Structure 1
Amino acid sequence: MFRLRTFLVAAAASIAVATGLIVSGPAPEAEAVPDTIPLTITNNSGRGEPVYIYNLGTELSSGQLGYADADGTFHAWPAGGNPPTPAPDASIEGPANGETLTIQMPKFSGRIYFSVGEKLHFSLTPDGLVQPAVQNPDDPNRDILFNWSEYTLNDAGLWINSTQVDMFTAPYTVGVREQSGTVRTTGELKPGGYSAVFDGVRDAGWGDLVHNGPDGTPLRVLSPGHGVGTGDVPADAMSDYIDRVWEHYSSNTLTVTPISHEPDTKYYGTVSGDVMNFTDGSGEVVTSFNKPDSDSVFGCHKELDAPNDQVRGPLSRTLCAGFNRSTLLTNSEQPDPDNSNFYQDPVTNHYARVIHEQMVDGKAYAFAFDDVGAHESLVHDGDPAEAFMTLTPYE
């Protein structure tokens, strides 16, 4: 059931769909974004092990997959094999504890990985790069402490986030410095927040999501989006809530305004049997959703598939967020903008709940469409002067 994952990044498009931001061209009357901008990485982790940095993704000017070195120079991946062949060593020696390193970020859509203690293992298939998939017990990176940030830098600026969609592990923040000198950051844990996430997931009864390293110390918490597949979360974890939602909207209407900058675009959902049908203002059915299971909810896929269109995709993202945040029964108008209403039902995405609780600004990317309503840990600037990544303490 475990599949090798190929790195075919389309982050610019996915960010545009998820946030409603236009990232396909330069901002009106803005100065052109340079070909590279500096990324300053600071190691405040308190750990003494070496750190390795990787900048992997798609070069936007060519569409080629590859990596960038410390100077921001792009290197295309060579052809891979089947079985997968080792990828070239794309690592950059990172800063020691208490030090900083500045590298150049090119116009890319991809990921900044960092690993602690040892280098990551990447390989290539004929389709591209095989990334770490630590939900697979046979993955060679399973016992390595690592994490990553996702970003897009293009003519419209920089989008960079901290992500917990796949797992919660080595803590870090991301930031951007505007041309004015203002710095905005996100992803910072509260004091004691790192340990509190592990404890909170265990207290919720989802302790099997915690993966320990060879020395017995916790390495990461796997997201329930992977946990259903691995058996670390019960396959019926969300079933009671899903059943109650389906029953409620058999006799009530769910109103969804899925695109934030189009407040007059509304759809109306009602359940008939195992199907929720959405109609537009004229009463025409525009799309329908089969009753989802827990895996569909946690992964925002399968029955909650979200194509890159203007109707089903936005509706699916909103439904996915409402299920994970457990707001569909308390607010029939979605998305619910008030995060004080999130995760209040006993049946909810406890992984996402705990992570959000431990963030200084309350924002996180704890499931695929946590950006619905702008509750994600992302910073954007249309004319960035510098980007930041700070490795923070494990407390």
Structure 2
Amino acid sequence: MSRRVSTRFRTLPCWASALLLALGMTALAPEASAQPAVPSTIPLKFTNNSGRGDQIYVYTIGTLLSTGQQGWADASGTFHPWPAGGNPPTPAPDASIAGPAGGQSLTIRIPKLSGRVYFSYGKKIDFRLTTGGLVQPAVQNPSDPNRNILFNWSEFTLDDSGLYINSTQVDMFSAPYAVGVQGADGSAKTTGHLKPGGYNGVLNALRAQGGGWGKLIQTRPDGTVLRALSPGHGIEAGALPANTMDDYINRVWQKYAATTLTVTPFADRPNTKYFGRVSGGVMNFTNGSGAVVTSFQKPDSDSVFGCYKRLDAPNDQVRGPISRTLCAGYNRTTLLTNPNQPDTGDAGFYTDGVTNHYARVIHGQMADGKAYAFAFDDVGQHESLVHDGNPQQASITLDPFN
């Protein structure tokens, strides 16, 4: 994203600046005279429509934008820096806020952070601190202390340009929820709701998909479904074969040894184009003058699913935007059908027999079709994100498990 934060990195970076590149925007903040200043905290209304009786615990954690410190916020929006961690990791302070009972709401305040709002069902999340910062749950690891806890999170940035808040399935599909923001005129934008029956629809589709996709689903010892891991984490956990995408990757590599792949990474800069060809086992991208600007080794399946390693995407103006576009094309399996990337519509997404079926079924079950099913799902604006430059209130709504 770099709008999103992957648990691969284990600590909470600030992702707001890279949001520009992902959206193809040249400026995030409007002119100061265009709107009132965003206050230091805004209310967040947390509603429990889950239909479950578990005690809910809520956490606001992230990076304080004014100082770069990592920490957590209490219910009033007061920021608390994390204390020094250790090696091995030491327990973090209890940052939990008791959430609302079923059918009820709780309003807390969130400060100007780039971070996450976690929520768990029935048990508090076990957060730890290392010398490098917060260790986040990594439930693809069977020894992670949060492996048998039902939890999920939303990501947000609140800064002088307003509120950006999204739902995410980049790391896992778990407890269903939606996010929203209310503007100064009283209008509300929401995203993240599943269709009726969508929660079970995702799980059942994964179970029915051959090739190990059903093994992404994790359960507690009593059989309770906790989550479905994303395919990259599934490879890491040994649940999904490491060669899952290799056939498609090989076909892409073969095609662009004889054909040019044209990437136009910025929506507002249609004349900025890069041209990719495979030669000598490397995909080289040239600019309009014919100069090579960046090159990619053939990715493996994990690079594709995680949008990293051989598809690394630095926060720059050349390699990062090209890599994000490639990542989206591989996951949506549109690189063979469209040599001009990114795609402007979703009609041709996930139609190859070898594709990211996890992303396919999640998008198919979302009420608005929007999701963050992989790291750069925001390429072409197919992501589940809402924004308001003058936010009056944020919202997170826990939805039923059906």
With normalisation by structure 1, the TM-score equals 0.97
Residue 341 of structure 1 aligns to a residue whose secondary structure is coil
Give the CA deviation at 1:77. Answer: 0.6
Q: Tell me the equivalent position of 2:392.
A: 385
Q: 1:9 aligns with which of 5, 10, 13?
A: 13
Give the CA deviation at 1:23. Answer: 6.8
1:81-96 equivalence runs, <5 A:
81-96=86-101
Q: 1:62 aligns with which of 59, 67, 70?
A: 67
**TM-superposition CA deviations, 1:266-307 (whole Å, max 9, x none):** 011111132111111111111111111101100101110001
Which amino acid is the alignment partner of residue 50 of structure 1?
Answer: Q
1:265 aligns with 2:272: yes
1:161 aligns with 2:166: yes
- Report the Cα distance in structure 2 between the residues aligned to 1:298 and 1:359, rounded to whole angstroms: 20
- Give the alignment's Cα RMSD to 1 decimal: 1.3
1:306-325 equivalence runs, <5 A:
306-325=313-332
Asked if the contact 2:206/2:357 (under 8 Å) is kept, the reply is: yes
Give the CA deviation at 1:14. Answer: 3.0
Q: Tell me the equivalent position of 2:347.
A: 340
Q: Tell me the equivalent position of 2:296.
A: 289
**TM-superposition CA deviations, 1:176-225 (whole Å, max 9, x none):** 10111111100010010000111111111211111011210211000001
Q: Tell me the equivalent position of 2:228.
A: 221
- Report the Cα distance in structure 1 between the residues aligned to 2:68 and 2:243, rounded to whole angstroms: 41
- Report the Cα distance in structure 1 between the residues aligned to 2:115 and 2:181, rounded to whole angstroms: 17
Asked if the contact 1:177/1:385 (under 8 Å) is kept, the reply is: yes
Q: 1:49 aligns with which of 44, 49, 54?
A: 54
1:1-395 equivalence runs, <5 A:
6-21=10-25, 25-28=29-32, 29-205=34-210, 206-395=213-402
The aligned length equals 393
- Report the Cα distance in structure 2 between the residues aligned to 1:274 and 1:227, rounded to whole angstroms: 28
**For the structure 1 residues 273 and 299, does the alpha-carbon distance in structure 2 shift closer, same or farther, using more than 3 Å as the test?**
same
- Report the Cα distance in structure 1 between the residues aligned to 2:36 and 2:205, rounded to whole angstroms: 46
Residue 181 of structure 1 aligns to a residue whose secondary structure is coil
Fraction of identical pairs, as percent = 66
Residue 16 of structure 1 aligns to a residue whose secondary structure is helix
With normalisation by structure 2, the TM-score equals 0.96
Asked if the contact 1:11/1:151 (under 8 Å) is kept, the reply is: no
Asked if the contact 2:25/2:266 (under 8 Å) is kept, the reply is: no
In structure 2, runs of 5+ residues without a counterpart are: 1-6
Greater displacement, 206-215 / 157-166: 206-215
- Report the Cα distance in structure 2 between the residues aligned to 1:98 and 1:8, rounded to whole angstroms: 31
Greater displacement, 23-32 / 337-346: 23-32
Residue 298 of structure 1 aligns to a residue whose secondary structure is helix
Give the CA deviation at 1:21. Answer: 4.2
Asked if the contact 1:120/1:141 (under 8 Å) is kept, the reply is: yes
Asked if the contact 1:4/1:131 (under 8 Å) is kept, the reply is: no
Residue 297 of structure 1 aligns to a residue whose secondary structure is helix
- Report the Cα distance in structure 1 between the residues aligned to 2:28 and 2:255, rounded to whole angstroms: 40
Which amino acid is the alignment partner of residue 278 of structure 1?
Answer: F
Which amino acid is the alignment partner of residue 16 of structure 1?
Answer: L
Which amino acid is the alignment partner of residue 15 of structure 1?
Answer: L
Asked if the contact 1:322/1:328 (under 8 Å) is kept, the reply is: yes
Asked if the contact 1:109/1:152 (under 8 Å) is kept, the reply is: yes
Residue 83 of structure 2 aligns to a residue whose secondary structure is coil
Give the CA deviation at 1:261. Answer: 1.2
Asked if the contact 2:21/2:266 (under 8 Å) is kept, the reply is: no
